[in-house]
């Protein structure tokens, strides 16, 4: 058995793996292009993509859109594969980043951390303003079949468009989570339990769309065997992020990557982010100080998150994540997935993809395609 292709409209990824978007400089053009060159879908994260721009504090909208356009262009120079962009709904620059991504020729926009109700409208506005028909696929990130149905209904009524695919992100994912703290460890909300609801919601829309609407599962997917299991449950592909951090091509500092290699299962914790959502991260002094009520005084210069109240939040999440990405781990913290403790080394994206393919084949050969896909 070999990996099945992942098809999203007229796009075909020969490997059914979407590299999850990791914000504040973790997944930029270098990582995304490396994944795309291997046949997967590489994803540039839009959150604070302009952090290195000299005017990011004085002019965050222009700095971030400029940087995002440049990252998409860089990725295009490095690959002819599929390049996506991940844009959080919670970003104050959401509309600007969406329009920039479409105009710059991104193949796919993945959008979560809120319900991306305005995504198709922004896409249409970009086409109208440019007097050009773009082919960017629009993919909401959801946590349930109910959310998938709600988004599709709103999109269709407002614009006549339907999602090109769905990403179902379960509670074992890294970073910000679309679940309450109570549900994160509840087996009733496990990825395996949620898949069928989103697959059913997608299939119910396919006749109206006149095309397949694939479901991509993420959050706790670590091995080739995990990929086989998700496909067996009805998914068309998977989203993986944690394993791509520990690669040579990941855009983060080596100290950030090494934190993954050194981590154990006991080092993982759930925080309450200034974004207003729970998040999964590695324990450290920064998080300990926050929990003890020690504030990190700051002046809000980025104005990056709609739901962040600088008057009440104990720290600036953008500054904390920028510091961590640069390797200054004592001045920030590292987001991670639940399986970070399984990461044992840093390797190339090519070697990772080869490993996942081998693991997938071994699983399918050991249990048989029929058994594996039940």
Structure confidence at residue 295 (pLDDT): 64
Structure confidence at residue 292 (pLDDT): 82
User: Domain extents for the chain?
Assistant: 6-252+347-372, 256-331
Structure confidence at residue 290 (pLDDT): 84
Residue pair 122/95 in contact (Cβ under 8 Å)? The answer is yes
Please list the pLDDT of the chain residue by residue as tens digits (374 residues): 589 999 999 999 999 999 999 999 999 999 999 999 999 999 999 998 988 989 988 888 999 999 999 999 999 999 999 999 999 998 889 999 999 999 999 999 999 988 999 999 999 999 999 999 999 999 999 999 999 999 999 999 999 999 999 999 999 999 989 999 999 999 999 999 999 999 999 999 999 999 999 999 999 999 999 999 999 999 999 999 999 999 999 999 999 999 999 999 999 999 988 878 899 999 999 999 888 877 665 665 666 676 766 677 777 888 899 999 999 999 999 999 999 999 999 999 999 999 999 999 999 998 765 444 44
Residue pair 305/90 in contact (Cβ under 8 Å)? The answer is yes
Task: Give the residue among 118, 68, 88 at the shortest CA–CA distance from 20.
Answer: 88
Q: How far apart are CA 369 and CA 104, in angstroms?
A: 41
Going by the DSSP 8-state scheme, the letter that residue 89 receives in this structure is: T
Residue pair 316/275 in contact (Cβ under 8 Å)? The answer is no
Residues in the chain: 374
H or E stretch at 69: helix 60-78
pTM of the entire predicted model: 0.93
Q: How far apart are CA 36 and CA 83, in angstroms?
A: 7
Question: What backbone phi and psi angles, to 5 degrees, belong to 153?
Answer: -65, -45
Q: How far apart are CA 218 and CA 83, in angstroms?
A: 18
Structure confidence at residue 374 (pLDDT): 44
Alpha helices in the chain (DSSP H): 29-37, 60-78, 94-103, 119-130, 145-159, 181-184, 191-209, 224-232, 242-245, 254-262, 285-291, 317-325, 349-367, 369-372
Q: Regarding the domain delimited by 6-252+347-372, which CATH topology (the fold level of the hierarchy) does it fall under?
A: TIM Barrel (3.20.20)
Structure confidence at residue 296 (pLDDT): 64
Q: What's the start-to-end Cα distance of the chain, in Å?
A: 16
Question: What backbone phi and psi angles, to 5 degrees, belong to 208?
Answer: -65, -35
Going by the DSSP 8-state scheme, the letter that residue 332 receives in this structure is: S
């Amino acid at each position: 058995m070999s990996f099945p292709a992942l098809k999203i409209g007229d796009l075909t990824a020969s490997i059914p793996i979407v590299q999850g978007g990791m914000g504040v400089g973790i997944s930029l053009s270098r990582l995304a292009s490396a994944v795309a060159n291997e046949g997967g879908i590489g994803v540039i994260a839009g959150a604070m993509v302009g952090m290195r721009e000299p005017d990011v504090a004085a002019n965050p909208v222009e700095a971030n859109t400029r940087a995002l356009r440049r990252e998409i262009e860089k990725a295009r120079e490095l690959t002819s594969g599929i390049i996506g962009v991940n844009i959080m709904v919670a970003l104050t620059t959401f509309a600007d980043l969406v329009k920039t991504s479409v105009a710059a020729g991104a193949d796919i926009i993945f959008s979560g951390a809120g319900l991306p109700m305005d995504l198709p409208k922004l896409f249409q506005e970009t086409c109208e303003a440019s007097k050009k028909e773009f082919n960017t696929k629009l993919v909401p990130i959801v946590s349930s079949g109910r959310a998938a149905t709600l988004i599709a209904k709103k999109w269709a009524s407002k614009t006549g468009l339907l999602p090109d695919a769905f990403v179902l992100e379960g509670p074992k994912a890294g970073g910000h989570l679309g679940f309450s703290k109570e549900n994160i460890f509840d087996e009733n909300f496990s990825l395996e339990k949620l898949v069928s609801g989103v697959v059913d919601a997608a299939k119910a829309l396919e006749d109206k769309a006149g095309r397949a609407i694939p479901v991509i599962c993420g959050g706790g997917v670590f091995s080739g065997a995990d990929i086989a299991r998700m496909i067996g449950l009805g998914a068309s592909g998977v989203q993986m992020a944690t394993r791509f951090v520990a690669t040579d091509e990941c855009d983060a500092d080596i100290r950030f990557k090494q934190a993954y290699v050194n981590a154990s299962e006991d080092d993982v914790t759930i925080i309450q982010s200034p974004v207003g959502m729970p998040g999964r991260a590695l324990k450290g002094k920064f998080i300990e100080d926050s929990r003890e009520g020690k504030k990190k005084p700051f002046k809000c210069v980025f104005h990056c998150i709609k739901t962040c109240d600088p008057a009440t939040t104990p720290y600036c999440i953008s500054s904390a994540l920028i510091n961590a990405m640069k390797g200054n781990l004592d001045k920030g913290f590292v987001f991670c997935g639940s399986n970070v403790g399984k990461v044992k080394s840093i390797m190339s994206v090519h070697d990772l993809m080869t490993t996942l393919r081998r693991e997938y084949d071994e699983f399918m050969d050991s249990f048989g395609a029929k058994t594996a896909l039940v």
